[in-house]
């Protein structure tokens, strides 16, 4: 059986642990590798290596750091097919979707290549007689990145590109369900010229994360994952005196006003709800149908669902792959099973979809559509994270906005309409961090930052883009006086500018 390694101090490092987990091929249900959960000694060693490396990398010139980012960008782009195949083998998503996440990850490396501009400080001349003030940003030190299974390349790149470019060392703890792509990223960073020890991959589970959170050698923690873990990580990391950002789960609504183009809205709902089997934090999980568009919209979505090809991610004909584990597939199925008893209408039941051959043992489930869903039902209140789309019906725009804003999550939201005024009002009214107007999955490009509101983000630091530069650096302000030697005099008073 293949054994996954760590990546410590610039090389693959075999674990001596006695605690091992399993990495499945979700399309066949077979175990394809074993993953180590780091020992205490391995955690200590990795932190010591990272601390040493941070000291010299943090003072490397901006041009040296930028050069590594350019080379890394080139290598990830050149090897994108190979990386996508690794993602598909362990996550299960179709190859095209894996390529899509790599291209969104590449954006973050490209952003980091502009480091010279991002780290420009400010300068104020002559704030007082003979006194100038300048500001600069310096690396925070050693950053721990803890990432979820659903984007094994894109989410690590959200963190890694800026963290490294800003001069930090990093320890990435990828999801134990699909850890291999992170190891290839580590190899490519080394090939790009990153000094040994600056980027490390430590394999593990929640216990490994706990050890990182409590260790004084970690300065900042970036987390992306589910809300219960995000809230716990944020409080534990900040209680231990670390800078922390923790992005959590979601329940993303797509509001469809009566004047929307029906075909455009139905296409968008299907691709945003069932793409990557609904295992996207920005997936649309609730369509809010306003007024008389509801019946034709539900019919148009159901018609499109029937045509979706579900199969192994490495089959070019497949449009949707399996879920990540059998347990997760069964949990998703339980929401569909309970929906009727909660008062909802199951329009399409994904559990009826049958799979044959190797796929019969894989973690597949068909797509589900559930109408007449409302708050108070589990299918509405909880994040399902699978190919289940709910429809909530509202009579007016005001009811729709009230529904969306009452939800505990506030990651992404979209409105579909031909009315510019209504769309504009929506962007003001809605309490979510990322808003799409006729765009179902409004993931910001890397020159902006990513982050939800409410229980979708703990802490106030959004991820990547300008917010990422701020998170991975500390600000310093320098006040300078070069006194005229002829008039130099001592003033014991409080510092003043006049």
Give the residue numbers annotated as catalytic, written as ranges. Answer: 281
- Taking the complex as a whole, the smallest distance from the CB of residue 443 to ligand NAD amounts, in Å, to 9
Residue 145 φ/ψ, nearest 5 degrees: -115, 125
Question: What does the alpha-carbon distance between residue 25 and residue 91 come to, in Å, rounded to a whole number?
Answer: 7
Q: Which is nearer to ligand NAD, 167 or 442 (CB)?
A: 442
For residue 145, the minimal CB distance to ligand NAD (Å) is: 9
CB of 150 to ligand NAD, least distance (A): 5
Cα dihedral sign, 431-433-434-440? negative
d(C-alpha 30, C-alpha 407), whole Å? 38
Report the residue number, 246 or 394, with the smaller CB distance to ligand NAD. 246
Spatial CB neighbours of 397, under 8 Å, sequence gap ≥ 6: 255, 257, 290, 422, 426
Judged by beta carbon, residue 75 or residue 237, the one nearer ligand NAD is 237
Q: In this structure, what token pair is assigned to residue 343?
A: 């008062």
The gap from C-alpha 104 to its chain's centroid, in whole angstroms, comes to: 11
Nearer to ligand NAD, 7 or 385 (CB): 385
* Separation between Cα atoms, residue 465 and residue 458, nearest integer Å: 18
Residues facing residue 458 across a β-bridge: 246
Distance of alpha carbon 309 from alpha carbon 300, whole angstroms: 17
Buried b (16+ CB within 10 A) or exposed e, 391-422: bbbbeebeebbebbbebebbbbbbbbbeeeeb
Name which of 102 and 233 has its Cβ closer to ligand NAD: 233
Shortest reach from residue 86's CB to ligand NAD, in Å? 17
Q: Give the nearer residue to ligand NAD in terms of CB position, either 45 or 147.
A: 147
Residue 337: enclosing H or E segment and its boundaries?
helix 326-339
Is 152:456 a contact under the CB 8 Å cutoff? no
DSSP code string of 145-159: EE--SS-TTHHHHHH
Q: Any alpha helices (H) in 170-252, and if so which ranges?
A: 180-191, 206-214, 227-239
Question: Least CB distance from residue 154 to ligand NAD, whole Å?
Answer: 9
C-alpha torsion sign, points 287, 290, 295, 299: negative
Minimum distance of ligand NAD from residue 204's CB (angstroms): 7
Rounded to a whole number of angstroms, the minimum distance from the CB of residue 22 to ligand NAD is 14
Minimum distance of ligand NAD from residue 280's CB (angstroms): 7
Q: How far is residue 246 from each of residues 226, 297, 439, 458, 461, measured CA to CA in Å?
A: 9, 36, 25, 5, 9
Measure CA 119 to chain center: 24
Q: How many CA atoms lie within 13 A of 150 on its CB side?
A: 18
In this complex, which beta carbon is closest to ligand NAD, that of residue 224 or of residue 414?
Answer: 224
Q: How many CB atoms lie within 10 A of CB 370?
A: 27
**Residues at the interface with ligand NAD (CB under 6 A):** 146-151, 155, 173, 175-176, 205-206, 209-210, 224-226, 229, 233, 247-250, 281, 383, 385, 411, 452, 456
At residue 32's C-alpha, the angle toward residues 28 and 38, to 5°, is 135
| DSSP category for residue 1 | -
Q: Which is nearer to ligand NAD, 233 or 297 (CB)?
A: 233
């Amino acid at each position: 059986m293949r054994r996954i390694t760590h990546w410590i101090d610039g090389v693959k490092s075999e674990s001596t642990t006695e605690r091992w987990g399993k990495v499945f091929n979700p399309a066949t249900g077979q175990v394809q590798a074993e993953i180590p959960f780091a020992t205490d000694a391995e955690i200590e060693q990795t932190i010591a290596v990272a601390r040493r490396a941070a000291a010299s990398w943090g003072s490397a010139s901006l041009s040296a750091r930028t050069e590594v980012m350019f080379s890394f960008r080139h290598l990830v782009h050149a090897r994108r097919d190979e990386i996508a195949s690794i993602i598909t083998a362990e996550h299960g998503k179709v190859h095209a979707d894996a390529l899509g996440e790599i291209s969104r990850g590449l954006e973050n490396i490209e952003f980091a290549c502009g480091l010279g501009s991002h780290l420009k400080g400010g300068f104020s001349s002559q704030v007082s007689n003979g006194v100038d003030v300048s500001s600069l940003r310096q690396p925070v030190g050693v950053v721990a990145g803890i990432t979820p299974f659903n984007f094994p390349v894109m989410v690590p790149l959200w963190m890694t590109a800026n963290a490294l470019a800003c001069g930090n060392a990093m320890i990435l703890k990828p999801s134990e369900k699909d850890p291999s792509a992170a190891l290839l990223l580590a190899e490519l960073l080394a090939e790009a010229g990153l000094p040994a020890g600056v980027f490390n991959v430590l394999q593990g589970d929640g216990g490994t994360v706990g050890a990182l959170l409590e260790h004084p050698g970690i300065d900042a923690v970036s987390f992306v994952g589910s809300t219960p873990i995000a809230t716990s990580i944020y409080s534990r990391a900040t209680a231990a005196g670390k800078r922390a950002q923790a992005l959590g789960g979601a329940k993303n609504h797509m509001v469809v006003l009566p004047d929307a183009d029906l075909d455009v809205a139905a296409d968008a709902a299907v691709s945003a709800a069932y793409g990557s089997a609904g295992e996207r934090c920005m997936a649309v999980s609730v369509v809010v149908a306003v007024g008389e568009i509801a019946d034709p919209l539900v019919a148009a979505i159901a018609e499109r669902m029937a045509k979706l090809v579900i199969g192994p991610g490495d089959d070019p004909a497949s449009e949707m792959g399996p879920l990540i584990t059998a347990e997760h597939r069964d949990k998703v199925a339980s929401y569909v099973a309970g929906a009727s008893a909660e008062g909802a209408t199951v329009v399409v039941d994904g559990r009826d979809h049958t799979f044959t051959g190797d796929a019969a043992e894989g973690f597949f489930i068909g797509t589900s559509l559930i109408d007449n869903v409302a708050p108070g039902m589990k299918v509405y209140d909880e994040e399902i994270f699978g190919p289940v789309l709910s429809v909530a019906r509202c009579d007016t725009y005001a009811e729709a906005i009230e529904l969306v804003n009452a939800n505990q999550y506030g990651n992404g939201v979209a409105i579909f309409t031909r009315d510019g005024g209504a769309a504009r009002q929506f962007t003001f009214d809605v309490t979510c961090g990322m808003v799409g107007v006729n765009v179902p999955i409004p993931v910001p490009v890397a020159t902006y930052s990513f982050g939800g509101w409410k229980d979708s983000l703990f802490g106030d630091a959004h991820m990547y883009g300008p917010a990422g530069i701020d998170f991975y650096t500390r600000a310093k302000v320098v006040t300078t006086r070069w006194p005229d030697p002829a008039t130099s005099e001592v003033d014991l008073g409080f510092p003043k500018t006049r």
